[in-house]
Amino acid sequence: MRHLHLKEEEMFFDKKAEGVLERYESFLIDDPYYFLAGSSGAFEYSMKLAGDICGKRVLDYGCGSGWLSVHLAKMGANVCGFDISSKMLEVGVKRAQVNGVLEKLNFQKMKAEELSYPDDFFDAVLGVSVLHHIDIDKSARELTRTMKKGARSIFIEPLGENRLLNYVRSRGIQGRTKNEHPLKYADIERLKAYFSKVEYTEFQLFGMFERFIGSGLARFLKLDSLDRWLLSRFPGLKKLCRLVVISVEK
Ligand SMILES: C[S@@+](CC[C@H](N)C(=O)[O-])C[C@H]1O[C@@H](n2cnc3c(N)ncnc32)[C@H](O)[C@@H]1O
């Protein structure tokens, strides 16, 4: 089991939240794709897997500044969101207010490894870019406890099997935390010990360039369709992808 630097993680994201608080104009959530750094295909697929969430109790797992919580609340879900960073949660509350969905949201400071929700509580769970920050075994045990029987959790995570991409990530200018490690297939396999069903689909082979060329040009070049075609014909390319959508069922 990895040793996690939870305090550093909290401080890193508290600091990051200050920047978000200064940019008040980005609080309105009209277009969730704005927050996805070019992972629109993975997001559309995740929302399709989640199905109709209206009226359901849904968890935004490691919600950060709450853009997904707000989006889910706007779709009619009753949303809980937790995060280790209280400053990120403050941003989430502001977002919820600005978007008029505060009454449908419940944000709490919590560690993924120690959830304080009751057993069998959630109908569905969604998480973006979180599993690769946390202790997978401890968190999976807690997650399965809080999910209703038959409920599904869906995560969009960075895949860490492409060495060149990992090198580029390690040189990233946005900064990284010590806990962060793009997921390996072996990490995903570990989830099988805690859930009745574990499935995953890779995204963004050429699509990974969407974040540099913009979603308009990526759509024009049909990068998502090109990727789907290539990945279905040449499955060996899947491990080179930037993202993976993981779906687990209790
Ligand atoms: C890359 S951010 C993603 C946030 C959000 N899901 C989004 O899409 O903007 C990772 C988030 O995980 C949170 N986090 C990291 N480790 C955590 C832990 N052990 N328990 C709870 N939250 C944690 C961080 O504070 C941060 O907000």
Q: What is the mean pLDDT of each run of 10 residues along the chain (250 residues)?
A: 78 84 62 65 92 97 95 96 96 91 96 98 97 96 98 97 91 72 96 98 91 81 90 97 97
Q: Are 62 and 130 in contact (CB under 8 A)?
A: yes
- The reply to whether ligand 1 has any atom less than 6 angstroms from the CB of 130 is yes
The whole-number pLDDT of residue 101 equals: 95
pLDDT of residue 194: 97
Question: What pLDDT does 4 receive?
Answer: 75
Cα(117) to centroid of ligand 1, in Å? Answer: 17
- The per-residue pLDDT for 88 is 95
**Residue entry with tokens 């008029």:** 100
**Centre of ligand 1 from the C-alpha of residue 30, in Å:** 22
- Fold of domain 6-249: Rossmann fold (3.40.50)
13 CB within 6 A, ligand 1: yes
| pLDDT for res 149 | 97
Where along the chain do its domains lie? 6-249
Look at residue 24 in the predicted model and tell me its pLDDT.
54
| Nearest residue (CA) to ligand 1, atom 9 | 64
Nearest CA to ligand 1 atom 27: 64
Atom 15 (ligand 1) nearest CA: 133
Residues 6+ apart with CB under 8 A from 99: 27, 28, 29, 70, 73, 74
Exposure string (b/e) for 128-143, b if CB count within 10 Å is 16 or more? bbbbbbbbbbebbebb
| pLDDT attached to residue 216 | 79
Q: What is the pLDDT of residue 16?
A: 85
Residue 61: what pLDDT? Answer: 98
Determine whether the shortest distance from the Cβ of 153 to ligand 1 is under 6 A. Answer: no
Q: Are 41 and 206 in contact (CB under 8 A)?
A: no
Q: Which atom of ligand 1 is nearest to the CA of 13?
A: 25
Q: What local confidence, expressed as pLDDT, does residue 157 receive?
A: 96
CA angle 129, 34, 220 (to 5 degrees): 105
